[in-house]
Amino acid sequence: NAGVTQTPKFRILKIGQSMTLQCTQDMNHNYMYWYRQDPGMGLKLIYYSVGAGITDKGEVPNGYNVSRSTTEDFPLRLELAAPSQTSVYFCASSDDRSSYEQYFGPGTRLTVT
């Protein structure tokens, strides 16, 4: 099993551009999450999903959108990129609400200039 995979690993965007960060998991997990991590900080939840077709906002959703059309995929869309969105983005998944052990992808390092 590959676990949680994310693409791309690195990306540089110009202000105002858009992009989609891809996240795929092959563990048949119902729960998936997007976090951002700024330098020297902990992670902040952007969006999460409890199953295909269901998404909800986390702590810092502004400037982002998500969709969950399949169990495996949970893409994160950035519209009109801003320098404040420069960060490392992590996708995670978990399969059981009571145990809730989250499995993380390797991250996408995004720079907006």
The C-alpha atoms of residue 86 and residue 110 are separated, in whole angstroms, by 5
1/14 with CB nearer another protein: 1
CB-count burial class (<10 Å; 0-12, 13-18, 19+) for 68 = buried
What are the residues binding another protein (CB under 8 A)? Answer: 4, 33, 40-45, 48, 50, 56, 58-59, 90, 92, 98-107
14/98 with CB nearer another protein: 98
Q: In the complex, what is the shortest distance from the CB of residue 39 to another protein, in angstroms, rounded to a whole number?
A: 10
- What's the helix, strand, coil split of the chain in %, to 5? 5, 50, 45
Q: In the complex, what is the shortest distance from the CB of residue 40 to another protein, in angstroms, rounded to a whole number?
A: 7
14/100 with CB nearer another protein: 100
14/39 with CB nearer another protein: 39
The C-alpha atoms of residue 16 and residue 84 are separated, in whole angstroms, by 12
Q: In the complex, what is the shortest distance from the CB of residue 107 to another protein, in angstroms, rounded to a whole number?
A: 5
DSSP state of 1: -
